[in-house]
Structure 1
Amino acid sequence: MEKIQMTTPLVEMDGDEMTRILWAMIKETLILPFVDLKTEYYDLGLLHRNDTCDQVTVDAANATKKYGVAVKCATITPNRQRMEEYPQLTEMWKSPNGTIRSILDGTVFRTPICIDAVKPVVKNWKKPITIARHAYGDVYKAVDMETTEPGTATLTFTGESGEAKTLTVQKVDGPAVWQGAHNKESSIRSFAKACFQYAIDTKQDLWFSTKDTIAKVYDGAFKRIFEEEFENYKAKFEELGITYFYTLIDDAVARVIRSEGGYIWACKNYDGDVMSDMVSTAFGSLAMMTSVLVAPDGTTEFEAAHGTVTRHYYKYLKGEQTSTNPMATIFAWSGALKKRGQLDGLAELESFGEKLEEACFDTLNAGIMTKDLVGLVEPGFQATAVNSQEFLNAIAERLQKKLA
């Protein structure tokens, strides 16, 4: 079989632990036999990020802006425990996802991968719920510190004009921790525009939620900017028969649980991080959640919404077979290849991405699954748990028939 040709590279960002192992297995089993793959490769593994003082993450993000499409493996964001696991680390490096999102200034759209054999634990959910997550600022670009004595913290902004504004944050009578977060109006507007356009493109209602009753200025700015930007999309929403509404985050959670799904739920950065995990787990598995970062200029980065599957990685290091679900990572690759095909006018490459996804669904519908899904299938559905390589081989067999 002649391999499908590419004309422009896509940016490939390798990652950590078990997902790094799956990354190589997916390429070897599902992509390289069929596609003459062209990528600009960046190793975002934790130790290489440390060796480059995290410059490799910045370089990968800038390459993504250059080429327009990227695919990223899950990566480690080190905490204190990770610093002990990896004593070579010279710094507790920031989230690479946060760095990339900051440079691209995009919005992350996360949607569960649904199959009939696995029903959501929320029994009234009938359609996927897409989380639109703002991808800049808040706690992900925050600075924090710890103090040990009584005192007063202030927040000061000094403008280029020299004018300064100062607020008292809090006066404390002993040890305390502090955090300063920010966001930019330009980024919030990009977030709003991306959400409204995505709702139009997918013909879905859009919900947006913050906590402006508490953070009256900070979250209030998000609410105001969304309302202002909606005026530019209102007519198209009415034409398509779709709606936009704002509500508080706690009310939104209650509404989501009572709903049937089938809409986009836009959230601030941290809210979107947490709620996308909740939605993906309720629909079945964290490994069954697509994630795509869309920048204002159309640049896209595809990744899995889950972490590096540390527990399975330690089993792998002991020589044990693991039944790690690769679906979200496969869909990151298929999404990137489809987008590259669309941008370059390569119908065969775009079709390959679609057929790869079809082969995944065919495999799952045949009852061949990783262990995490077997325990979730509906009564009466016959499912067999296989290890990761066996699962990939089963997909490859079906993919080859579709391409023949």
Structure 2
Amino acid sequence: MAKIQMKNAIAELDGDEMTRVLWKVIKEELLLPYVDLKTEYYDLGLKSRDDSDDKITYEAAEAIKRLHVGVKCATITSNQARVEEYHLKKLTPSPNGIIRAELDGTVFREPIFVNNVHGTVSCWKKPIVLGRHAYGDVYKNCEIKCPTAGKAELVFTGTDGKEIRKTIMDMKGPGIIQGIHNLDESIENFAKCCFTYAANKKLCVWFGAKDTISKIYDGNFKEIFQRVFDQDFKKQFDDAGIEYFYTLIDDAVARVMRSEGGFMWATKNYDGDVMSDMIASACGSLAMMTSVLVSPDGNFEYEASHGTVQKHYYRYLKGEKTSTNPVATIFAWTGALAKRGELDENKELVDFAKCLEKATLQTIEEGYMTGDIARIASPKAKKILNSWEYIAAIKERIR
């Protein structure tokens, strides 16, 4: 059959390890036979980022802004072990952190439900959408390892030359200090993105932070969220019969674990990083969750919410065919293609993306799946497939 034509390109951000291997297979088997794929390719593999001193990461972020749609493979954020393994020049920053800061967006993550895979939290009946602030906090921090005793201070010098200075700690010996920041504008954008997304899906919004301890930092989040809601969204929420409320993050966690789902949980950057993995794992697998970064000016970056599956990659290098679950990576591609089709008024492309998602989930529901979800499938899997077999089974159903 004739391939589906694309009017405009999407930014393609390649990644690392096992997800990089499957990225190529997904393109060759599930996309290129059916779509005349138009992408601007950026290699965000760890060595490529190190060689370019992260210039390529910033170029990829600019491409997403220009094209309005990007799709990203999972990438490594280096630690000292990775520096030695990949012979890097230095510790490289998080590419996700760079891209999220450049787009100043909010990450929305949602579990992918299938009828025969039941999570470990029995009361969850509906997906929990997690809205994660994607700017600042520890992902754009400044750290010092203090070699001796001394005074640690927090200093702000305004553009008017006035200085605010506070003592963090009179340190009696060696230790560590860390500085984090956020911007009112970014927090406002985060709140607006969450309320807009929730209103469109008719979801209640829960926001949790720790203003009882972090009275100024977290208190600022709480105040801005409430102001944005009262000014711009309260009537819309009232008319739709949905609500917004703030609670402490520990209370939010307890509420989430007792809920039936079906709401948006808005979180600060680090909280969202941790809790999205908890929700995905409790729903079945880290590979069964969609993730999209939405910027306030209408740019979208789709990605898998999990890492590069390092252990499977080492086994792959030894010649093994691993049973790595590619669903989240497939859904990153379908999300990006559907959004491209929506923006370009290309119904064929949107329909193809939906078809591929349906074939992906139908394969699982018919009993053919990777090992991670076979452990909790009911009824039991008819056959546990390696990644290549699973992708081939999806391709059969596309036909």
Report TM bin, short chain: over 0.9
Structure 2 equivalent of residue 180 of structure 1: 179
TM-fit CA distance, 1:84: 2.1
Determine the structure 1 residue equivalent to 2:13: 13
Structure 1 counterpart SS, 2:4: coil
For the residue of structure 2 that corresponds to 1:94, the secondary structure is coil
Aligned to 1:377: 377
Aligned pairs for 1:222-261 within 5 A = 222-231=221-230, 232-261=232-261
Distance in 2 (alpha carbons) for counterparts of 1:191 and 1:96: 20
Contact 1:377 1:383 in 2 (8 A): no
User: What residue ranges of structure 2 are gaps of 5+ in the alignment?
Assistant: none
2-structure distance, mates of 1:130, 1:92: 33
Structure 1 residue 80, shift from structure 2 partner: 1.4
Q: How many angstroms does 1:150 deviate by? A: 1.0
Please give the alpha-carbon distance, in whole angstroms, between the structure 2 residues aligned to 1:234 and 1:201.
14
The one-character-per-residue Cα deviations of 1:191-231 (angstroms, maximum 9, x if unpaired) are: 00000000001111110000000000000000000000001
Q: Which amino acid aligns with 1:316?
A: Y
Q: Report the Cα distance in structure 2 between the residues aligned to 1:383 and 1:242, rounded to whole angstroms.
A: 41
Q: Distance in 2 between matches of 1:26 and 1:385?
A: 19
Deviation at 1:387, TM superposition (A): 0.8
**Does residue 1:267 correspond to 2:267, yes or no?**
yes
Which consecutive aligned stretches of 4+ in structure 1 deviate over 4 angstroms post-superposition? none
SS in 2 for 1:220: helix
Shift of 1:361: 1.2
Matching residue of 2:166: 167
Question: Which residue number in structure 2 is paired with residue 30 of structure 1?
Answer: 30
The answer for the alignment partner of 1:58 in structure 2 is 58
Structure-1 separation of matches of 2:144 and 2:344 = 47
Q: Which amino acid aligns with 2:132?
A: R
Aligned to 2:398: 399
Would you say 1:194 and 2:173 are equivalent positions?
no
Q: Is the 8 A contact 1:10 1:67 kept in 2?
A: yes
TM-score (norm: length of structure 1): 0.98
Q: Which residue of 2 aligns with 1:117?
A: 116
- Give the corresponding residue for 2:364: 364
Q: Does 1:302 align with 2:302?
A: yes
Q: In structure 2, give the amino acid aligned to 1:375.
A: R
Cα contact 2:303–2:332 (8 A) shared by 1: yes
Q: Which runs of 5+ in 1 are unaligned?
A: none
Please state how far the C-alpha of 1:116 moved relative to its aligned partner: 1.4
| Amino acid paired to 1:198 | Y
Q: Report how far residue 38 of structure 1 moved.
A: 0.2
Q: Secondary structure at the match of 1:265?
A: strand
Are the equivalent residues in 1 in contact too, given 2:119–2:376 (CA < 8 A)? no
On the 8 A contact 2:304/2:328 being kept in 1, the answer is: yes
Instruction: Indicate the RMSD between aligned Cα atoms, in angstroms.
Output: 0.7
Residue aligned with 1:109, SS? strand
How many angstroms apart in 1 are the aligned matches of 2:391 and 2:149? Answer: 59
Offset of residue 381 of structure 1: 3.6
Show CA shifts across 1:4-36 (max 9, x none). Answer: 000100000000000000000000000000000
Query: What is the alpha-carbon distance in structure 2 between the residues aligned to residue 150 and residue 374 of structure 1?
Result: 54
SS for the counterpart of 2:164 is strand
Structure 1 counterpart of 2:219: 220
d(CA) in 2 for partners of 1:145 and 1:385?
48
What is the identity, as a one-letter code, of the residue corresponding to 2:386? N
- TM-score (structure 2 length as normaliser): 0.99
For residues 102-140 of structure 1, give each alpha carbon's deviation from its aligned partner in whole angstroms, at most 9, with x where no partner exists. Answer: 000000000011111111201111011111000000000
**Secondary structure of the structure 1 residue equivalent to 2:285:** coil
Indicate if the aligned counterparts of 1:285 and 1:373 stay in contact, CA closer than 8 A. yes
Paired residue secondary structure (2:357): helix
How many residues get paired? 398
- Cα distance in structure 1, aligned partners of 2:119 and 2:365: 16
Match of 2:319 in 1: 319
Q: What secondary structure is seen at the aligned counterpart in 2 of 1:101?
A: helix
In the TM superposition, residue 235 of structure 1 has moved relative to its aligned partner by 0.4
1:398, 1:204 → 2: CA distance? 33
1:320-346 per-residue CA deviation (whole Å, 9 max, x = no partner) reads: 111100000000000000000000010
* Amino acid corresponding to residue 49 of structure 2 in structure 1: R
Tell me which residue corresponds to 2:203: 204
**Aligned counterparts of 2:206 and 2:89: Cα–Cα separation in 1:** 42
Supply the distance in 2 between the matched residues of 1:117 and 1:84 (Cα, whole angstroms). Answer: 43
Q: Which residue of 1 aligns with 2:67?
A: 67
Name the counterpart of 1:92.
Answer: 91
% identical aligned pairs:
57
Structure 1 residue 382, shift from structure 2 partner:
3.9
Check conservation: 1:156, 1:165, Cα contact below 8 A: yes
Asked whether the equivalents of residues 374 and 380 of structure 2 are also in contact (C-alpha less than 8 Å), the reply is no
Give the Å deviation of 1:364: 0.7
Separation in 1 of the partners of 2:305 and 2:290? 6
CA contact (8 A) 1:13 1:72 kept: yes
CA distance in 1, matches of 2:177, 2:311: 32
Whether contact under 8 Å (1:72, 1:332) holds in the other structure is yes
Question: In the aligned structure 2, how far is the partner of 1:113 from the partner of 1:334?
Answer: 13
Whole-angstrom CA distance in 1 between matches of 2:81 and 2:289: 27
